[in-house]
Structure 1
Amino acid sequence: MVSNKEVLDALSVIIDPDFKKDIVSLGFVKNISIKDGSVSLDIELTTPACPIKNEFQKNAEEVLSALDGVESVKVNMTAREVKKSEKNKGGLEHVRNILAVASCKGGVGKSTIAANIARELSARGFKIGLLDADIFGPSVPTLFNIHKPDIQADKDKNMIPYEQNGLKIMSFGFFLGDSPAILRGPIVSGYIQQLLTGVAWGDLDYLIIDMPPGTGDIQLTMTQTVQLNGAVMVTTRQALSLVDVAKGIEMFEKVNVPMIGVVENMSYFDCTNCGSRHYIFGGDEENVVTKKYGLKTLMQLPIKVDSGIIGHLDKDFTDPDIKELVDNVVRAIGMKAFDKNTTPQYEFDDEKLSFTWPDGTRSVVKNLDLRADCGCAVCVDEYSGEKLLKVEDLPKDIKPTEITPLGNYALKITWSDGHASGIYPYKQIRKLETVV
């Protein structure tokens, strides 16, 4: 009869493409049962919507069926239980994951991307809710062609979300109609609280929140009211949008919301006449956000004529770009939930910063070298890329006065010359390091 060790050895050839490790060493294999010639087990993934779960299941069945003495194989695909937050009460009590889709400026396509993520996840069979929390400019009713729905309340006086093809939707725009939203601060906060906790979402795998643009009191109220599992930032390649990405990163990090990554929207367009790809907002194929801030670029989405048209969701449509985006978002959420000890330990003195990296490597970077390599808008022209900072103008004895880690991708450093707007990705730091 086949042994547990043989089963685990066989499964260890299956490599997770994100973590670059086998599923056994990652602890994904659970509850192995061997009886006569029958083998059953669970493969517990980091997220229920993992886009490669079918591949894992197929590979596991194949390698186990090839073992001598195995007559039947049953592989159950499960997902790690998310610990529920005490913050998420009321209508959010049975929501397993809450993902915010945010931007620091309007007009970058945030609502369209949030709607597409929710629509695609729902189409894959998951229980999904979409909350349009953009109080001042609710777009979801227009995107989904929902006008003046009859919203009812349950016995607990929680609003029952509108449902379209299995996707649960709630928007302030349902109550506003076509009238403009003229609201003051305290009233806005009250509406936000009601939308966040006063909707009867029921059992959901994911609630996607279309956040209001910006980084002010409204956004802080939302992050303090509910526990978000992560945030996706939407931007474009335009310099004014890129400058504000840093503000969004800092806001979410301050309130302990993990940054999942950035979607670079309207990144390029493919000409149907000449067949060439054009980056009309500048740059080239390089992921400018990743280079500048160290945050993962989840997708570079092209400009398309029909990209903002969702309309009737009862009409089937397939957009390969959206499918790839959702795959990348889900995988990034899973990695963020599982990722442990991927940031370096660091200390600093009057001359240098010293790092001990997760692989045990130790290195140093001179204070002056790192300060001179700042890529913020004060130090580098956002339009031309020209270096504005002159090294000879920096104090030779410059040193950090405060260092704030930003997730597992960068450090925000305040320097003794008063400069505080620089974000330094770990990849940038490693290019300047000297291994010791």
Structure 2
Amino acid sequence: MMREEDVLEALRNIIDPDFNKDIVSLGFVKNIRILGDEVSLEIQLTTPACPVKNEFQRQAEYLVRQLPGIKKVSVQMTAAQRPFTSALQGIQSTLNTVASIIAVSSCKGGVGKSTVAGYLAQELASRGFQVGLVDADIHGPSIPTLFNMTHAEVYINDKKQLIPVERNNLKIMSFGFLLGDGPAVMRGPMVSQYVQQVLHNTDWGKLDYLFIDMPPGTGDVQLTITQSVRLSGAVIVTTPQTLSLIDVTRGILMFEKVNVPILGVIENMSYFICDHCRKKHYIFGSSGSKSLEERFGIEILAELPLLAQLTYPMDSSVGNDFIRQALDRIMMALGKSTVQQKEVPQIQFDSRKVTLAWSDGTQIQVSNRDLRLSCRCAVCINEMTGERILQEKDVRSDIVPQEVIPLGNYAVGITWNDGHASGIYPYRAIKELAGISSTP
């Protein structure tokens, strides 16, 4: 007679690529029912748009069907229900019916953030999910132009809520719809007020996902959004150019200070492919992604090339493989962040060293001087050549941290007593350094 333990044992052969663990150990398998030669079960994933959903279902049906005496297998794929509490407590908001909110951010303009946000939202909506896109850039709203909707009319329902404009199953709201072609000339407090209205007073209905096209930068408006919305995660868009890489640091620190998980970085305009020779040309340099991963320890979700297709109005565009792959990586990162306990070490420092201790008993120590010298920020390393700018003679002997900020489960930010505050030190790099550090 077939037992539930036999079914679970078979399903242990299905490995989740993000966690590198089997789906039984991760608790994804639910509601196993055995009736004679028939088996039904549920696989509950972390996010409804999980890109490996179909593969898990196929593997589960095959593996269980191989068990002796089993003739029929039914596998239902579901996703863990997120509570609809996307606005912070005390705020009346229509976002309370949105399951997951993803901020698409950049720390400077001109990197293609709005284009990336628009394509990601459109791709996810085309997969049958309930998706919204809000353009929170008051001074320079781009979404109306990108979707060829510069003259869209916005209506108000009987609750005096803005009704989003729908296009191809995607709900869209932008301050540009309200502003028209005129300039937005207003001061900070008024800007924040309008952002709050567009975010919290739009009749989104129930959404699986909402993408926020954030205003560029890390100022008051950005903080207003992060403090009034319970963001599920943030995607940072940059380019390989030097200035963009410098500014990424500010974005990472901003999101981490308000406890928003960083899903990863998308490097836009990474390269172009020649029509004749099909060779990749890295016109801004080829080390951008490598530099980001080494410096920040966070995942590079995609390297998007320069493509003519991405300049067309989105109302006439078709799917793009690069965008599909980027979206898959984002959904996997989002699912991982919802169940993974952030393994943040306990951090202590004194006049000589920095000590990191993890819950599994691992402890490492690095001298203050060695750690300061290892900084790979744009002030300490030449972005274009990779050559070290910071020299040993430049670091004082009494160097000591003034503030240490854990950055998720991947790095730590340190402000030093020499005034240096732009360094982000991945735990992986610190562990490597500890092996050669001359800790006093």
TM-score calculated relative to the size of structure 2: 0.94
- C-alpha distance in 2 between matches for 1:322 and 1:128: 16
Q: How many Å separate the matches in 1 of 2:359 and 2:51?
A: 28
Maintained 8 Å contact 1:341/1:358: no
Residue 382 (structure 1) aligned with residue 386 (structure 2):
no
Give the total of aligned pairs: 434
Does residue 1:66 correspond to 2:79, yes or no?
no
Distance 1:417 1:221 in 2: 31
Write the letter of the residue equivalent to 2:278.
Answer: G
Q: How does 1:385-396 map to 2 (within 5 A)?
A: 385-396=386-397
Q: How does 1:79-228 map to 2 (within 5 A)?
A: 79-85=79-85, 87=88, 89-228=92-231
Q: Deviations over 1:150-193 (max 9, x none)?
A: 32222211111111111111111112222222222222111101
Q: Which position in structure 1 is the counterpart of 2:373?
A: 372
Aligned to 1:28: 28
Deviations along 1:361-384, one digit per CA (max 9) or x if unpaired, are: 333222211110111222223333
Look up the equivalent residue of 2:221 and give its one-letter code. Answer: I
After TM superposition, give the deviation of residue 202 of structure 1 in Å: 0.4
1:237 to 222, 240, 246: 240
Query: 1:275 offset after TM fit, Å?
Result: 2.6
The 1:185–1:285 alpha-carbon spacing in structure 2 relative to 1, beyond 3 Å, is: closer
Structure 1 equivalent of residue 332 of structure 2: 331
Is the counterpart of residue 346 in structure 1 residue 347 in structure 2?
yes
SS at match of 1:61: helix
1:395-435: CA deviations, max 9, x gaps? 23423232100111110012233322211112221221239
Q: How far has the Cα of 1:286 moved from its partner?
A: 5.0
Deviation of 1:341 after TM superposition, in Å, equals 4.1
- Offset at 1:351? 2.6
TM superposition shift of 1:9: 0.2
Aligned-partner residue type, residue 318 of structure 1: G
Q: Distance in 1 between matches of 2:33 and 2:351?
A: 59
Tell me whether 1:248 sits opposite 2:251 in the alignment. yes
After superposition, the C-alpha distances for 1:23-74 in whole angstroms (9 at most, x for unaligned) are 0001111111222222111111111100110000110011111111223211
Aligned-residue RMSD, C-alpha: 1.8
Structure 2 counterpart of 1:352, one-letter code: K
Q: Distance in 2 between matches of 1:419 and 1:120?
A: 41
Measure how far apart 1:254 and its partner are: 1.1
Q: 1:75 corresponds to which residue?
A: 75
Amino acid at match of 1:25: S
**Map of 2:410 onto structure 1:** 409
Contact map agreement 1:148 1:175 (CA 8 A) in 2 = no
**Segment of structure 1 superposing worse, 179-188 or 205-214:** 179-188
Q: Which AA in structure 2 matches 1:367?
A: N
SS at match of 1:97: strand
Amino acid corresponding to residue 227 of structure 2 in structure 1: Q
When residues 419 and 219 of structure 1 are mapped into structure 2, their CA distance, relative to the original with a 3 A threshold, is: same
Q: Following the alignment from structure 2 to structure 1, what is the Cα–Cα distance between the partners of residues 6 and 288?
A: 46
Does the 8 A contact of 1:130 with 1:209 survive in 2?
yes
- The aligned amino acid for 1:342 is E
Percent identical across equivalent pairs? 53
SS at match of 1:267: coil
- Measured in 2, the distance between the counterparts of 1:265 and 1:150 equals 32
Unaligned runs of 5+ in 2: none
Tell me what 2:16 maps to. Answer: 16
> Quick one: which amino acid aligns to residue 17 of structure 1?
P
Q: Which deviates more from structure 2 when the two are superposed, residues 335-344 or residues 364-373? A: 335-344
> Per the alignment, in what secondary structure is the counterpart of residue 39 of structure 2?
strand
Match of 1:267 among 262, 265, 270: 270
Cα pair 1:142 1:311 within 8 Å, conserved:
no
Partner SS state of residue 351, structure 2 = coil
Q: Structure 1 stretches of 5 or more lacking a match?
A: none
Which moved further from structure 2: 300-309 or 376-385?
376-385
- Rate the CA distance shift 1:322–1:358 in 2: closer, same or farther, 3 A: farther
How far is 1:285 from its partner? Answer: 7.5
Please say if residues 343 and 408 of structure 1, whose CA atoms lie closer than 8 Å, have aligned partners that are also in contact: yes
CA contact (8 A) 1:98 1:208 kept: yes
Q: What is the identity, as a one-letter code, of the residue corresponding to 1:126?
A: F
* Equivalent residue letter for 2:123: E
Q: TM-score scaled by structure 1?
A: 0.95
Query: What CA distance in whole angstroms lies between the structure 1 residues aligned with 2:359 and 2:314?
Result: 48
